[in-house]
Amino acid sequence: MYARTGQQSAAFYVLPALLFTAVVFIAPLASVIGQSFWNGQFTTHSYQSVISSTLFQKVFVNTLVISFSSTFVALLFAYPMAYHMAKQTPRRRAFLMMIVLIPFWTSILVKSYALMIILGRNGIINTTIEYFGIPALPLLFNRFGVIVGTIHTLIPFMIFPILNSLLARDPDLGRAAQIMGAGKLRIFLKVTLPLSMPGVAASFLLAAVHTFGFYVTASLLGGRGDLMMANLVDLYTREILDWNMAATIAVLLFILCAVFTLLMGRTRALSTLAG
Amino acid sequence: MKETAASASHSTWITHCANAWAWFGYAFLVLPTLVIIPMSFNSTDELAFPPDSFSLRQYEAFFLKGDWLSSTFLSFKIAIATAVLAVVIGITAAYGLARSSFPGRGAIVLFLLSPMLVPVVVVALGLYLYFATLGFSGSALPIIVGHTLVAIPFVIITASSALRHMERNIESAAMIMGASPFQVFRKVTLPLLRSGIIASALFAFLISFDEVIIAYFVGRAGFSTLPVKMFSTIQWEISPVIAAVATLLTILSTGICILVTIIMDRK
Amino acid sequence: MQRDALIGEPMVRLTGVAKRYGGGVIALDTLDLDVMKGEFVALLGPSGSGKTTLLNIIAGMTPPSRGSIHIAGDDMTHLPPSKRNLGMVFQNYALLPHMSVYENVAFPLRVRKLAEKDIVKKVEAVLDLVQLGHAKKRLPRELSGGQQQRVSLARCIVYDPSLILMDEPLGALDKKLREQMQSEIKRLHKTLGTTILYVTHDQEEALSMADRIVLFHQGRIVQQASPADLYFKPRSVFAANFLGASNILSTTAVGDGIAQLKSGETIRIGSGAAVINNEPVMILVRPECLRIERYDETSHLSAANSVPGQIVSSTILGNVTNHHVLIADGHTVMAQELTRRTAHDWVPGEQVKVTWAAADTRALEPDEMDVHS
């Protein structure tokens, strides 16, 4: 029913973005891939040495462990929070939305720095428990610190898709079940939870993939043993100055993300975003 | 009867627990940023909470010592350039996607949003290698370009949803009244998208202003943005002047969030 | 240029226009239609009958699959909407929400690059014509629905398009406002002599406004005629049913102009489709043409058709009263008469006979879809 004849030219409006993305995204990506095979001459050696290196293997495992455990704990927060938000009146929901949106848009550096103040040796938590005579706990510069920081970033990220799928469900379904005599808990378990599962699955995988590339959290809140793949890329680029290795690790990180992206069919979810 | 009553109170108890857990979550989200603010008024260089006494010493350090201010100006310049570029490119792309159909449209959408799917560090390394070969070192251009790349998908998504919700007959009416496709875009579509454009410009600005990794990889000596300077400073010491910087950044992002909410609400 | 030469020529000429979508969906079957200059033509039909598709094809918003569109003698088939010099009024007004009433009306003149002083003159004149001179600084959202639609009318007539398309323009208004706007549109049509193509699914609106009604059904034109002809001389069962209330009797033809009900009564047919002996034929009688008489009364109409029946119900609807009568062949017919105090009130169950004149009896063509199925 909509205008087509006069608007075929509208397709040309996409050209600047296509050109920009090709030049600034595809070309650099190509140079990463090229660099991963280039060490003064063409080589595939870097892939063998990366994969067989114990440092890389440890970092690879770190990345998966930190990503999945953080995503899992974040989901334990995000789902009840999204459910709580979905039940509120639109006015109150808008307020809670602000509470979630502000940390979402706050710099990762600010969040990490604040967590350093809270979790540090002289931080709020340790000062408090020492006041009660409990010895200080190691909360910072270790795995715990990284996971707390990652969770903090992931919660808002995960709330939005879950909240959308909760709000998108037929609001009369719950009421219908209630009229038929089901209790609130039963309604939740039999109606709400199953219907929101696609949103939960999407947000879980989306968040996990997002976390694979985390860099700042691990380098500020973690210890030497908590390096993630992005940190390793940085290490090879700036300290070891081995671009060939850095590029190889970047390609492997890219492949890891791509595999999980294809796995969840996020590609389709994304294209619906822009209509 | 009894059983129903028992299960009702049972589920009320669970509801209370779930609500309490949700509120714990909200507290966890806002608490860190709230801690920052009193810390920024710390008078000593000790990093203890709560601070012993209050002063503006850390703000003084931010404004007068070191080169915090020049980094801030650099970040502003880069963020403004990014916002302008990302909005111009992103809005036109969103319009083209929403108002035409051509084969392979889905693939193009995916292509334009793909910078969002790739880890930033991969993009950053790519830009680093790419610009090293092109020889752009010693300029803010690589940072601006990288930030624009990251911001464009956000602009496209925001604008696409605004375009989808727009009353389409308005554009048709303008066309039938004799407006050329470009006149429709300029005089009808763009003004109707105004709040969406402002919102995406503000978010693009914020994305750039807060971005660390690309700026860290691509920026050279003399070109460290505020987040990069902050990042390298925190890695060496947890200096309280950071609290002042963090407070200013928090005010900026909170302000932009509130502004966007107001703009979108007014519509 | 040659405007005068065009009088008597059609303003719009559609030749062999068809629209098919993927998957074999036929939105519009091959059709021809001429609209004369100054004519007010209503495209009437149920939703999904193709009338809005046709309007979009004429406007240039949907390309036809086949056929050509000529407007004022020029081939417009491949021109974009902006080059067709048409006006269009939408159901939801489609005003530019960020512009004042004045700027909305000035918009088509600005894109035509008229001089500012001409724009002022024309816009003021048109706003006075639709009685909105006082509201020119307001924004569309500050106006009522009726006012918004008047702005949208003003915005069309201000640039004197060769043709104005209206797509259910009053569909969003309540009944009273709708009637008011109907007469306003009629008035504008009379004063300006514009050619109007008016899409509606409301038969009363089409009957009261149009010079000619084009009736659509399943992507085809089933009949086009003046309101009176369409009412009195519907060609098919669909046309008879869609316009006004109707009684349709199934009969079998038994001779030239004579049919027979299942229950045996013969019926004289006054007009309509040719009938073939022993073939079934559908017969239309409008409710206001039926008379109810006492069973034992001798009919004073010489050529009258007469069928015995039994009163089912009588309902006063205000100035008219509807009587439902179960007639001998097992169908229920409706008779409508002006409400008045009579010596005798019909009571349910009462034995009566229903009579009508042969001139009010019309043989209908079966619907084409019935032929197919």
Interchain contact C140–B (C-beta under 8 A): no
pLDDT at B43 over 70: yes
Pairing verdict, β C305-316 and C212-217:
unpaired
Name, in order, each residue with C-beta under 8 angstroms of A31's C-beta and a sequence gap of 6 or more: B126, B129, B130, B133
Q: What is the pLDDT of residue C48?
A: 85
What pLDDT is stored for residue B39 in this prediction? 84
DSSP assigned state of C140: G
Q: What percent of chain B has pLDDT over 70?
A: 91
CA–CA dist C214, C226 (Å, integer):
9
Residue at B256 is within a domain: yes
* Residue of chain A whose Cα is closest to the Cα of C81: A6
Residue B1 lies in a domain: no
CB C314 within 8 A of CB C350: no
Q: Where are the domains of chain C?
A: 3-237, 238-372
Question: Measured between CB atoms, does A245 come within 8 Å of chain B?
Answer: no
Res C4: pLDDT: 44
| Res A197: pLDDT | 81
Residue B163 belongs to some domain of the structure: yes
Is pLDDT larger for residue B89 or for residue A195? B89
**pLDDT tens-digit readout, B73-114:** 999 999 999 999 999 999 999 999 998 888 888 899 989 999
Tokens of B239: 């200096």
Mean pLDDT of C212-234: 93
The type of residue at B235 is Q
Q: Do C82 and B178 touch (CB under 8 A)?
A: yes
Closest Cα to residue C200, out of C242, C261, C155, C232? C242
Residue B87, domain CATH: 1.10.3720.10
Q: Where are chain A's structural domains?
A: 54-273
- Are A253 and B118 in contact, with CB atoms under 8 Å apart? no
Phi, psi of A41 (to 5 degrees): -155, 165
Looking at residue C7, its pLDDT comes to 52
CA A212, A218, A220 angle in degrees (round to 5)?
150
CB within 8 Å: B49 and A18? no
CA distance C345 to C295: 14
- Token pair listed for B220: 């050279």
Which residue type occupies C116? Answer: E
Q: How far is CA C228 from the centre of its chain?
A: 11
A38-89 per-position pLDDT tens digit: 888 898 899 999 999 999 999 999 999 999 999 999 999 999 999 999 888 8
Q: Give C211's DSSP letter.
A: S
Give the amino acid at C234. P
CATH number of A54-273: 1.10.3720.10
Quote the number of domains for chain B. 1
Nearest-Cα distance to chain B for C91, in Å, is 10
| pLDDT score of C2 more than 50 | no
* 225-244 of A, contacting B, C-beta below 8 A: 229-230, 233-234, 237, 243
Structural domain including B224 reads 68-266
User: What are phi and psi for residue C93, nearest 5 degrees?
Assistant: 70, -45
Q: Check residue C339 and give its pLDDT.
A: 86
Tokens 């763009």 appear where? Answer: B190
Region A213-221 average pLDDT: 94
Mutate to test the interface with C, among B176, B186, B188 (most CBs of C within 10 A): B176
Average pLDDT in chain B: 88
In-domain check, residue B243: yes
Flag whether B190 is in a domain.
Answer: yes
Which H or E element spans position C87?
strand C86-89
Mind telling me how many Å the CA of C91 is from chain A's nearest CA?
15
Q: Which CATH superfamily is domain C3-237 in?
A: P-loop containing nucleotide triphosphate hydrolases (3.40.50.300)
Is the pLDDT confidence value at C271 over 70? yes
Interatomic CA distance for residues C333 and C323, integer angstroms = 8
Q: Is residue B40 part of a domain?
A: no
Is B170 in contact with C97 (Cβ distance < 8 A)? yes
A7 to chain C, closest Cα gap in Å: 9
Between C28 and C370, residue with greater pLDDT: C28
At residue B120, the pLDDT reads: 94
pLDDT higher than threshold 60 for residue B4: no
pLDDT above 60 (res A273): no
The CATH fold of domain C238-372? OB fold (Dihydrolipoamide Acetyltransferase, E2P) (2.40.50)
Chains that touch C (3 or more CB pairs under 8 A): A, B
Assign B11 a pLDDT band (cuts: 50, 70, 90).
low
Mean per-residue pLDDT for C63-77? 93
Using a CB–CB cutoff of 8 Å, tell me whether B175 touches chain A: yes
> What pLDDT is recorded for position B117?
86
Distance between CA atoms of residues C99 and B240, nearest Å = 52
